[in-house]
A = this chain, B = another copy of it.
Amino acid sequence: MARIFWAEEDGLPAGDRGAAYGDGLFETILMRGQQGALVARHLERMVRDATRLGIPVTRRQLQDAYAQAVNRYGDASSAAPWVLKLVLTRGAGGRGYRPDPGMEPNLQIQAAPAPPRPYPDGVDVEFSRVPLTVNPLLAGIKSLNRLEQVMAAREIQDGLFEVIQSNARGELVEGSRTNLLLATDAGWFSPPRADLAVVGVMRQWVLERLRARGEQVTESPILPEHVLGDGCRGFYLLNSVLGVVSVGRLAGQDLPVDGGLATICDPLQTLE
């Protein structure tokens, strides 16, 4: 069983390995009242990725913690969206980096106001100077090792909405807090899962919805010239709290803005 810490009452204990080594993972869920968006996907991802890290937690335990959080923070009479954050760490203990067998995980739960959305007129984005490196063993996991994203996010200034990070091959991989999707006449493109630091719940849901509508969706590397060239019909940022955000300007160049996808794939449609 994971031990629950309510963020407004307690920080994690001093020996917690989340704070010591980023030894854990997290989810942020868009909520309205007592309902959440894509909840099953969030909880399933956390269980799956915790298992990859060797942190024992079950779907049932997370579902129970989620239900407690909804009761605690959710106001059924309010239509204001909010964000539920779950931080699961390996717990406290171990000898240095090496965990003890049988450690009890810690689960920190907190509520926060939702950021503003949507952005129908498109947003302003730049290329990041912070390269993105992805360990194949940890690829896709929304772990607590997010210093590369923090360093990139420090570049978000002066009306900028996001910065796009590239890998060592010069491919556009991710925004600091968003996955990428490119629309072209030849269909939709998104960087492959294996290249991603975080495989977002929103990304998975949007790709499935597009495919269900019979659209051509290809997971393959995206280069800057693909986005800035004539073939671009739209460039989108995906995040389960922000939804789909159309990029209006990349590195000073205007891109075609289309609010259609944001409407089709509004996470608030999925409240459960």
Binding site for B on A (CB under 8 A): 5, 7-8, 10-23, 26, 53-54, 87, 89-90, 95-99, 108, 110, 115, 130-138, 143-154, 156, 176-177
Contacts and interface: CB of A to CB of B under 8 A. Distances in A.
Contact of A95 (B15, B22, B115): B115
A143 B89 CA distance: 17
A7 to B, nearest CB: 4
A11 B11 CA distance: 6
B21 A97 contact: no
Specify the main secondary structure of chain A where it touches its partner. loop
Contact of A146 (B10, B11, B97, B131): B97
Residue among A11, A22, A177 facing the most chain B CB atoms (10 A cut-off): A22
A150 B91 CA distance: 13
Contact of A97 (B89, B95, B99, B176): B176
A143 B8 CA distance: 27
Given A23-B146, A134-B133, A97 B15 contact: no
A99 B146 CA distance: 13
B7 A53 contact: no
Nearest to A26: B20
A188 to B, nearest CB: 26
